[in-house]
Structure 1
């Protein structure tokens, strides 16, 4: 029985010795030692850390068991404790990022597979799941072949608008997916409203949320770290994200092409573009448009945020569509 072992919370940022033991166990399990975790629990055989698991928001990560204790059913115990913690924090729908060989174990704990590849298995448990999301997409599908665009729009610029307008001119329908993660300067609600206003003149454009299923803390946490992200990790995550789009979302909406902007600034976004090219292959066309420039200067949301901070009205009027400019004036 595993009740001979003790469980306790590990404070990774405060207890250096505990952190080192945790990192050693994670590394031995061939997992990446994530730096941004909200809660970590450990199971100890006296003073030896033999199993661990963590949470980042509503995502279960870094579940590892020492190889000498693999037969002790400790994964169940760890995951049960993490789910109790999630429930306490008000989460009843949660995600799991793990190794593909662990699928049977986590299926037995009630998790459902969203997608897997040779490196990563992405699962979830709880109401309003992936099948619900796909059903919502299906319900709002329009007739004709579709194009897809995924954007953060932080905020929505003339560059984003150019991307959508180009797709709208060349396709029956365009589905714009706006990142649902609230990890940007502008809230999810504000970003969605700016996108909706900025594409309202285009009759064949539909705006969707991504929930946790595209470019999220669950599928692609490195995206939000930008320059601090380790590119090999970003590539693994970007590949998984691209797979979800190609294998699960594109077929539901009859999407045959995805549009992205060229990426001269962010290495992580460039890695994402490369991963999409590799994953999509011949099945799904990837169109990479050169960034829109004004007077030879490439438009970017980063430049817009800088102009907002510096109250550079002239530059904002150059970089932003009227809809975004008016929205920012009214609400900020």
Structure 2
């Protein structure tokens, strides 16, 4: 195993069937599940044998594996150097890492800090702004009294979202509405935040917050954005980690004892998330599932609103959107195209 024989290469997993087969076998031998949503994969070869690999998905480092009989060769550090260099080339100075609990000491020595861990996965980060900065942001917006929480994408903010918030506001002294910061929706984060703030402005015990990278994001729960294209086994693992992060690190900062969610009859991934929360929260946090609001026999959903926008169906828009969202969309006509 002489080091001079080792070659670092970029793997083209979609084009190179042989490389894909070797990569898949390497990951499975390391107890990892091969994933499809990857931007970049780096491999290290001993002659023609793939002995180590690591991948990037956005600013997340994942699928990192070293063949067992080469683990004394410092290949992990070489892999991380290559992957971090690729991130720096993209001006990414903040990154995340999924790894096995057994790798904690190794990655801490490489400058990564733990955010949360469960029985299966360790979630770490490197760079700034980090999770401690996010906790500082939450503390700056903390209100007095017991609180509940809602996490929503609001793509866009509908009467169904408004009904969920109003229901929570009647039952809780304080409600924190977390709006997804991820830019993976038809409406931008700034537009979604604006519509939520307008739609809850009449509720004096409601505070609207950003999620940044720490709730239902590409870092904590990438399967959410794939919806029903995501393998449910992967979605379940990610949902559990996201729920644990909320329960153990975020809820205590804001005094949150209850989380409200809408009933989910359509999306299997969202239903998996609801199930994961129920399992993770147990007796520590109350999970309250609210039946979805309907107009006639049609359940209100953001998907139906976006379809109505495409079809130019003014009646559905007026039925499904609160006046605040409707006026916002009319004022910003470019969003209607």
Under a length normalisation based on structure 2, what TM-score does the superposition of the two structures give? 0.97
Give the stretch that moved more between structures: 189-198 or 280-289.
189-198
Deviation at 1:73, TM superposition (A): 1.0
3-state SS, counterpart of residue 110 of structure 1: coil
In the alignment, the residues of structure 1 paired with residue 253 and residue 294 of structure 2 have an alpha-carbon distance, to the nearest angstrom, of: 34
- Three-state SS of the structure 2 residue aligned to 1:225 is helix
Deviations 1:6-38 (A, max 9, x none): 101111122222112111111211111110111
Q: Does 1:89 align with 2:73?
A: no
Q: Distance in 1 between matches of 2:8 and 2:79?
A: 9
2:16 is aligned with 1:11: no
1:296 shift after superposition: 2.4
2:38 counterpart of 1:37: yes
Aligned match of 1:177: 178
Offset at residue 281 of structure 1 (A): 0.8
Per the TM alignment, residue 2 of structure 1 is displaced from its structure 2 partner at its CA by 3.6
Secondary structure, in 3 states, of the residue corresponding to 1:181?
coil
In the TM superposition, what whole-angstrom CA distance separates every residue of 1:200-239 from its partner, at most 9, and x where no partner exists? 1111111111111111111111111111111111111111
What SS does the corresponding residue of 1:213 show, helix, strand or coil? coil
Counterpart of 2:59? Answer: 58
How far residue 3 of structure 1 moved from its aligned partner, in angstroms, is: 4.5
Q: What is the number of residues matched between the two proteins?
A: 332
Residue pair 2:5, 2:47 contacting (<8 A) in 1 also: no
Contact between 1:263 and 1:269, CA under 8 Å: does it hold in 2? yes
Alignment-derived partner of residue 149 in structure 1: 150
SS at match of 1:278: helix
2 CA distance for matches of 1:13 and 1:20? 11
Aligned to 1:71: 72
Determine the C-alpha separation between the residues in 2 that align with 1:231 and 1:7.
Answer: 33
Q: What TM-score does the superposition give when structure 1 sets the normalisation length?
A: 0.98
Question: How far apart in 1 are the matches of 2:5 and 2:15?
Answer: 27
Q: Do the aligned partners of residues 3 and 219 (structure 1) sit closer, same or farther apart at CA in structure 2, a change above 3 Å counting?
A: farther
For residues 239-295 of structure 1, give each alpha carbon's deviation from its aligned partner in whole angstroms, at most 9, with x where no partner exists: 100001100000000001000000000011111101111111111001000001111
| 2:218 counterpart residue number | 217
SS of the residue 1:72 aligns to:
coil
Asked if 1:231 is matched to 2:232, the reply is: yes
Whole-Å Cα distance in 1 between the matches of residues 62 and 293 of structure 2?
39
Task: State how far apart, in whole Å, the 2-side matches of 1:62 and 1:299 are.
Answer: 38
Deviation at 1:318, TM superposition (A): 0.2
Q: CA deviation at 1:47?
A: 1.1
Aligned-partner Cα distance in 2 for 1:226–1:72 = 39
- For 1:2 and 1:156, the matched residues in 2 are separated by 56
C-alpha separation between the residues in 2 aligned to 1:46 and 1:102? Answer: 26
CA contact (8 A) 1:2 1:74 kept: no
- Could you say what the CA RMSD is over the residues aligned between the two structures, in angstroms? 1.0
Spell out, residue by residue over 1:45-80, the C-alpha distance to the aligned partner (whole angstroms, 9 max, x if none): 011111000111110011001111111111111011
Following the alignment from structure 1 to structure 2, what is the Cα–Cα distance between the partners of residues 278 and 2? 47
Structure 2: any 5+ residue segments left out of the alignment?
A: none
1:261 alignment counterpart = 262
Name the CA distance, whole Å, in 2 between partners of 1:182 and 1:104.
33
